[in-house]
Structure 1
């Protein structure tokens, strides 16, 4: 395409084409908007709502929504809105950190299995082994075995955070590994890869310069869906009472603490339940939009 004066316009970046396709997906745009609102809410919330989530006011305990406490208070008089914001920070941190860990492990296993045929059988049988393990009972066993030790070494809050991030990340990489392996098997037979091999390009340079840039699409989709999986898993662990302690709120922990008061104060379950549902649903829609936008067959229509 030419501009005024006959000067050719610079070529459009591939990412502009991805954005053009992504913004046509109404569900993905709505999901991105909701996720951004939630993310900004938990990040900026402490500056907009300065009540200490641990502050106890026995006189205001079990109160309903008021101007002073829009989401009400719990059985100790702690502000539910402040605890929702603090819990969102923890849940989001766990989701993003665990996703990054699972993404690194899954990508490494997938690339090695797809590129080095001698490692393929071993790594894929290891992946099948992890897929065959019952996830939730395995997480419960690991947490029960190592929770007290890590708390003693890193402190009660940091220790349980590191443990939960590790166990979620190390047990959720398998789908990424399989997807990446399949793409690597196809890409390494392409002409540009064969040409690079013919001139003696070393394996590590081949992987980082030619293989990894061409498998970014499935990795990005797995990243978005991995956040949702990690948040759901952390919420399940906290709901079972094996996640964070009660003085370190997460959305799952707020659900767990509210179960004893479900009939008298059902709103205590509704608020964290809505937060978890909206976050997971919005992330899933973003993943669907990215999957469509990164598919060259759809972008070319």
Structure 2
């Protein structure tokens, strides 16, 4: 018989034995650690794939910089009259020439762009606010649908330009005497354009709200007693934001064209308050002798409207979930 080993011998043998290395456990990512993208990143990714919209965005930003930063570089007063330099051509002192009173056309184009774009943005805000309000009320409340849509159809049936001419003619003098010539006309034109341009936005928003009313989350919120004002602000408006933004971009173009038409007809801003439409009105009598006076403001109006329309098309495609999901 062999002698039993002592506890010290057993511990020594265990220390000399080869111990296998412990295998490291595999790294398993958590179940929720999946790369996610926000909705706005998907919208921007889809928008970037629209080449026309990207080119239009770059040109529109360039126009904004031209009218906003340009006056800080080209510091000539757009209202300064120099009779000795009137009707001059392209030169170092006046790169785009002067008008019949010797005012620098480059400075007037910059100043006119500020006014025209400001009118377009402000009128668009008014139109989108009215259109969204009427569209949501008409689509959500059944009892308001018929009267509000009849009101919308009434405004759609009215001729826009004659109605604007009538409003400007009636309220031009009272507002000019109250707020001053420039501010009064600005307030009048912006209010008139915004108050007559909300109908398309209202119909678009109404159609979206009618579709949202039958969605499951709306029915669930209604079943637990959510009040109407909370339903509209928390559930309806966030889901109709995409068509509102598209309508807003197109509304800017419409407002710029309408303001240019009013100024071209001589019912816009006063002569010492330049806009692109006013520059066209001042140059039309001498268009044959000095065609560049018409070409430059007309080109800026056309480029701005074209860029805004292309940006609106890009936003419409980018915010469509059926296209964005491809």
TM over 0.5: yes
For residue 158 of structure 2, what is the aligned residue in structure 1? 133
Cα distance, 1:48 vs. partner?
Answer: 1.1
Question: Any idea what the Cα deviations from partners look like across 1:24-50, whole Å, max 9, x if unmatched?
Answer: 000000110110000111111110110
State the distance in 2 between where 1:196 and 1:259 align. 60
Q: Which residue of 1 aligns with 2:138?
A: 113
TM-score with structure 2 setting the length: 0.90
Question: Aligned residues, how many?
Answer: 298
Separation in 2, partners of 1:58, 1:134:
42
Deviations 1:95-140 (A, max 9, x none): 0000000000000000000000000000000000000000000000
1:252 matched to 2:277? The reply is: yes
Counterpart residue number, 2:3: none
Deviation (angstroms), 1:12: 1.2
**Aligned-pair CA distance for 1:5:** 8.4
Match of 1:193 in 2: 218
Residue 66 of structure 1 aligns to a residue whose secondary structure is coil
Aligned to 2:64: 39
Q: TM-score, normalised by structure 1?
A: 0.98
Distance between the aligned counterparts of 2:80 and 2:128, measured in 1?
Answer: 38
Higher Cα radius of gyration: 2
Match runs of 1:53-202 below 5 Å: 53-202=78-227
How far apart in 1 are the matches of 2:121 and 2:187?
13
Q: What is the RMSD computed on CA atoms of the aligned residues?
A: 1.1
Q: 1:6 aligns with which of 18, 24, 29?
A: 29
Number of the residue aligned with 1:278: 303
Shift of 1:180: 0.2
1:271 & 1:245 partners in 2: Cα distance?
20
- Tell me how far 1:10 sits from its aligned partner: 5.5
Unaligned runs of 5+ in 1: none
> Structure 1 residue 219: deviation in Å?
0.2
CA distance in 1, matches of 2:317, 2:58: 18
**1:216 alignment partner, one of 219, 223, 241:** 241
| Structure 2 unaligned residues grouped into runs of 5+ | 1-26
What's the CA shift for 1:6? 3.5
Q: 1:267 aligns with which of 292, 296, 304?
A: 292
**Superposition map of 1:19-30 within 5 A:** 19-30=44-55
Partner of 1:291: 316
* Structure 1 stretches of at least 4 aligned residues deviating more than 3 Å after TM superposition: 4-7
Q: Deviations over 1:223-257 (max 9, x none)?
A: 00000000000000000000001100000000000
Once residues 168 and 5 of structure 1 are traced to their aligned partners in structure 2, the CA distance between those partners, rounded to angstroms, is 61
Partners of 2:42 and 2:164 lie apart in 1 by: 41
CA distance in 1: counterparts of 2:90 and 2:28, whole angstroms: 65
The offset of 1:56, in angstroms, is 1.0
2:76 is aligned to: 51
Note the C-alpha offset of 1:11: 2.4
Task: Tell me the distance in 2 between the aligned counterparts of 1:255 and 1:68.
Answer: 22
Distance 2:128 2:73 in 1: 34
For 1:235 and 1:18, the matched residues in 2 are separated by: 33
Distance in structure 1 (CA, Å) of the matches to 2:215 and 2:195:
32
Classify the secondary structure of the residue corresponding to 1:111.
helix
Counterpart in 2 of 1:232?
257
